[in-house]
Structure 1
């Protein structure tokens, strides 16, 4: 009995029993893992009686709801809805009303039995019938509200989403142009003016300078909100909220009120200036001190603006209030969370995240949280104001891209999830399965698999919430940009769930409503005129790559991963046109680091390799790979004649570095992204996967100021070559 119930739930909940691993071999999910995943979703697998009741409730739930919570329809599909009613009601006449997003109201009368009978079910001796109903409406793209009405009574409602067939593609790409741009970790940027961390003013300067040299986009790391009260938790891929921004990127000096005496008295103190000089000079970003300096100054600027504008009936206050209103509960949740975490930290109480908050503060909806927010209203307002200022400065940077006619402009990176102790989970616990973590099964780069500490969304709860959390994510992350890169884009199809306490290899795949999510992605892409890039590395089923391509999502091709079975490297001229190509990524060594095996030496020092034999095999493999790279460069006439084709005589030089970048520019990918680290011939990585405190991940700065980079004749010559090469391969 229990076994059959478990198998029913496994199928209903989208838990995969079999998959193909990274080596192309069939793999099977352990039955105990499937039970653990069901337990994570809230099913009482250890209690047969309760489990049977849960399955009955689940089976009956949809039948007792006349309409689905939400339906996504593409413009090339027939407009149909499923309608479920007791048999005695299926011959009555009903009115289907649609209120469009634009405010129009459309109506159509139906009798369910005129539709197509799709299914029948009996619940407590009552027969229910499901009919497929055709609707004659020609609806515009958008989010519409559909209701079922009888005798003026509203019987049921649903969200109806009309989506385009594919994501937005800018006209230059449709016309065959091939573009290039730079990818950066924003916090890594050095400049003559920033406060020890790259900021939005640096981004504006970088955008302007790159545009003037032929670049058509600037790619950013995730700039999601982190933890102001816990600044050393700095991974951009483990944020507190993916909807909001990291305040640390605000350029304080550009704010109205910065030059007021109350603010200048703070920043001109000897101790302040000493700390400011120190954080500018250090090689690794000092998040704690930078956050301390910025929050202290920002609070003083806020006090000025609050008194001058935000407590009066001013135009600025009206704009601020409109921003807060549009941000809704999500913005309030983040602001209250930040103040609460800050308050606990100031009292030296456990504060890393809501799991260690006092019980009365463990959930955003708790009455004590509302009382706390009211008592600390001004500080909550301050954190709301920080988000407003960050949004304004990001918009200003995007305006620079538009002014300089970049074909794409800024592109943001959407992290795959939020961390367990995040504000996003705190505000919507029902959506997240906090007893599991997102990760990856064993693959070539991670033989033991990976666990990322990010609770997955429950697909069923996401559906019940009418996909609003996903809509909000795509909407906010496409704002003020020309493209969105989705990290681990396979998450739209499936995610590797790892039950808390288990090893990553003991996880299993859980499927998501990929067609619906891609429809929403396409809709938001067109609304924002934002191109979409999907990071499709790792264990990628063929079905998702084909589906992504059909939906207009650009593939992500990394040169070092594009190898044939014989070890040779594919020519970039053979990459899919609908792709973004790159030499390396933030999780990999730089070009120089790869060539000189610095990553292997670093891995040895960090204890990442269990045995010397494993390390030596990696050295041997790297030597072969470098020779294969040279062979590829020679075969495509990309290797300068004065560089030997024999790897035994070739170190990484600026000439070889630049030659490889131009080699990529001659490829067929419509988009080419290059890292500033490789322009600067840097050898240290920004992140070493599999490490936490062993290496200063997400802290390593660039070696040179932005102002120096764009006054370098050799780099300007490289940019000119990239631009010319891209033009030559454009159709």
Structure 2
């Protein structure tokens, strides 16, 4: 090993080891150190050195007063997965309002959603909400076009929409083509008359307020569509060199020539803002104690609007990933761009502050995906395998301060997805910062089996499963193990080990539920049990998380509808239609579902048992 290289790596926050699938620390190679240093822009000892951690009190994020005396529950879902009689083949902000009223009727306190960040409109099949083009902007595909002023339907359009509603997977390409075509017609017709665009002054104020970030995003969307029409890709890395730089003469000329199209994309952002703001207001008026709970992705696409618009804020030559672990033995490369640790919190309008503000302005709660990123990220140099990456430190103190200030400004609580391999002490720091821990039932185990409900920390959100998991019924049947094996994510011997472990996990879960419910032992449902026979188990599991000390508990909508297809199978990329499956039932049918009613009743009953407690 090169001692000089080691010193340089440590100075710039690069860990010299990483964990293996056996949870043993292995050294980072000199090659990996050099590549990560190069990605950080380090060329020698004289290069910029990160600010060292300050030893001072950790700032506290906002918590609503209601959580001092109440334990709140809510419903989580993927907005796009909703079926309804009025949407255009993808759940939209109109459906969100319907879900808010459903939550209110069930006496739930929040509606949790997937990230609503802007995708690549010119390449809509790049549909992962966790690999967006820009986290500061919204997804225009969620606009309820039928709610836009001036919209008028016609028979041919209705036939197209009806066909989109009937698909089992969201057809993002046809959805985008249909919605954007109608919205362009509306935009053109609104400008045909001086009085066409209502609230014109409000629209202009929106453009002024969002400033250069909005203009650059609109320019990117315009360029992206233009390049696609000429056989280039939607992402800027495939464009001719003169268009890859925001400040080039060619880009400036393009912006002047396509000013109207840029304003159209600004208008789309305004429409999305208006409709999401309306949904947030409906949640407040309906009495939801938390309101909307929005998810924040850990990074953005390497070739999207954000990295094109603010090149200096991002690391260009490495992507975010994770080291090898038991469920991904080769490690993972998430192909996400990371903020540069020296830029993420710098300046009055720091990139991280703008990113969290973009969600908090609409939300009563935000969930930070991969909360470990507050302290470190695993960076994989371009053209390296994940096991050639290394952990790099981030300015945790500054990021926690930004979260505390923004959460106080917007009265928005913060949840940190603190799963996986976490740095020592991070969960303690998050608790001190009053950031809720994220506790998934199947992960809450120790050597004695599943942890009892009272073992869950009060400062947490408890749930059964998330978008990266099977439903509880699917977990019980081992569908997650089968999927990982079928897609070659883990080798056969590891898969067989997981099958054997699941047998013990099922028995342990049964014991935990019986002890929590003080019920006599019952017969264990077989692994191949029908939905009807697994129903009692699903309700009991939700009753269990409702009993926990956790301030918040989330019911995943897919668990209440018994979905067989997972939302996402991590590590499959194009081998599974990730982020496309719709729910098997429509919104209009949800309220009448016996399983949803039973789960809601269990949540209401257990969550209403008062456990007064002051904030830490």
Scaled by the length of structure 1, what TM-score is found?
0.80
What residue is the counterpart of 1:509 in the other structure? 391
Q: Could you tell me how far apart the structure 2 residues matched to 1:597 and 1:324 are? A: 50
Describe the shift of the 1:315–1:283 C-alpha distance in structure 2 as closer, same or farther (beyond 3 A): closer
Aligned match for 2:173, one of 277, 288, 296: 288
Aligned match for 1:179, one of 69, 72, 76: 72
Q: Could you tell me how far apart the structure 1 residues matched to 2:94 and 2:59 are? A: 37
Cα deviation code 1:281-300 (max 9, x no counterpart): 11111000000110011111
- Determine helix, strand or coil for the equivalent of 1:341: helix
Matched, 1:254 2:147: yes
What residue is the counterpart of 1:166 in the other structure? 60
Matched, 1:632 2:519: no
Matched, 1:332 2:211: no
Q: Specify the structure having the higher radius of gyration (Cα).
A: 1
Aligned match for 1:446, one of 328, 352, 355: 328
Moved more, 514-523 or 500-509: 500-509
What residue is the counterpart of 1:276 in the other structure? 161
Cα deviation code 1:81-128 (max 9, x no counterpart): xxxxxxxxxxxxxxxxxxxxxxxxxxxxxxxxxxxxxxxxxxxxxxxx
What residue is the counterpart of 2:273 in the other structure? 391
Q: How does 1:134-145 map to 2 (within 5 A)?
A: none
Cα deviation code 1:17-73 (max 9, x no counterpart): 2466676544432232111111112234xxxxxx4xxx33647xx9xxxxx9xx999
What residue is the counterpart of 1:573 in the other structure? 454
Structure 1 residue 360: Cα displacement: 1.4
Matched, 1:684 2:565: yes
Structure 1 residue 718: Cα displacement: 2.8
Matched, 1:584 2:465: yes
Aligned match for 1:499, one of 361, 381, 395: 381
What residue is the counterpart of 1:720 in the other structure? 601
Aligned match for 1:560, one of 427, 434, 442: 442
Structure 1 residue 714: Cα displacement: 4.7
What residue is the counterpart of 2:97 in the other structure? 204
What residue is the counterpart of 1:134 in the other structure? none
Matched, 1:37 2:27: no
Contact 1:627 1:647 in 2 (8 A): no
Q: Could you tell me how far apart the structure 1 residues matched to 2:113 and 2:528 are? A: 36
Moved more, 275-284 or 24-33: 24-33
List runs of 5+ in structure 2 lacking aligned partners.
none
Contact 1:654 1:681 in 2 (8 A): no
Q: Could you tell me how far apart the structure 1 residues matched to 2:5 and 2:147 are? A: 59
Structure 1 residue 650: Cα displacement: 6.0
Q: How does 1:135-534 map to 2 (within 5 A)?
A: 165-173=59-67, 175-259=68-152, 264=153, 267-269=154-156, 272-308=157-193, 316-347=199-230, 349-462=231-344, 464-465=346-347, 468-534=350-416
Q: Could you tell me how far apart the structure 2 residues matched to 1:640 and 1:679 are? A: 25
Describe the shift of the 1:273–1:537 C-alpha distance in structure 2 as closer, same or farther (beyond 3 A): same
What residue is the counterpart of 1:157 in the other structure? none
Contact 1:21 1:443 in 2 (8 A): yes
Q: Could you tell me how far apart the structure 1 residues matched to 2:176 and 2:435 are? A: 36
Contact 2:54 2:397 in 1 (8 A): no
Describe the shift of the 1:554–1:563 C-alpha distance in structure 2 as closer, same or farther (beyond 3 A): same
Contact 2:345 2:398 in 1 (8 A): no
Describe the shift of the 1:319–1:26 C-alpha distance in structure 2 as closer, same or farther (beyond 3 A): same
Describe the shift of the 1:24–1:547 C-alpha distance in structure 2 as closer, same or farther (beyond 3 A): farther
Structure 1 residue 609: Cα displacement: 3.9
Cα deviation code 1:446-475 (max 9, x no counterpart): 222111001222212335545611110111
What residue is the counterpart of 1:655 in the other structure? 536
Q: Could you tell me how far apart the structure 2 residues matched to 1:306 and 1:258 are? A: 14
Structure 1 residue 327: Cα displacement: 1.2
Cα deviation code 1:599-653 (max 9, x no counterpart): 3333343333433x33322221111111111111122226687x41475796652
Contact 2:71 2:608 in 1 (8 A): yes
Contact 2:345 2:351 in 1 (8 A): no
Matched, 1:644 2:523: yes
Contact 2:2 2:30 in 1 (8 A): no
What residue is the counterpart of 1:80 in the other structure? none
List runs of 5+ in structure 1 lacking aligned partners.
45-50, 63-67, 78-163
Cα deviation code 1:546-597 (max 9, x no counterpart): 111100100000010111124x111232100000011111111111211112
Contact 1:562 1:569 in 2 (8 A): yes
Structure 1 residue 658: Cα displacement: 1.2
Tell me which protein shows more strand as a share of its residues.
1
What residue is the counterpart of 1:141 in the other structure? none
Q: Could you tell me how far apart the structure 2 residues matched to 1:190 and 1:384 are? A: 28
Contact 2:225 2:234 in 1 (8 A): no
More relative contact order, 1 or 2 (CA 8 Å, 6+ apart): 2
Q: Could you tell me how far apart the structure 2 residues matched to 1:650 and 1:717 are? A: 19
Q: Could you tell me how far apart the structure 2 residues matched to 1:332 and 1:72 are? A: 35
Structure 1 residue 324: Cα displacement: 0.9
Scaled by the length of structure 2, what TM-score is found?
0.94
> Across the two proteins, how many residue pairs are aligned to each other?
610
- Determine helix, strand or coil for the equivalent of 1:608: coil
Q: Could you tell me how far apart the structure 2 residues matched to 1:414 and 1:712 are? A: 30
Contact 1:638 1:663 in 2 (8 A): no
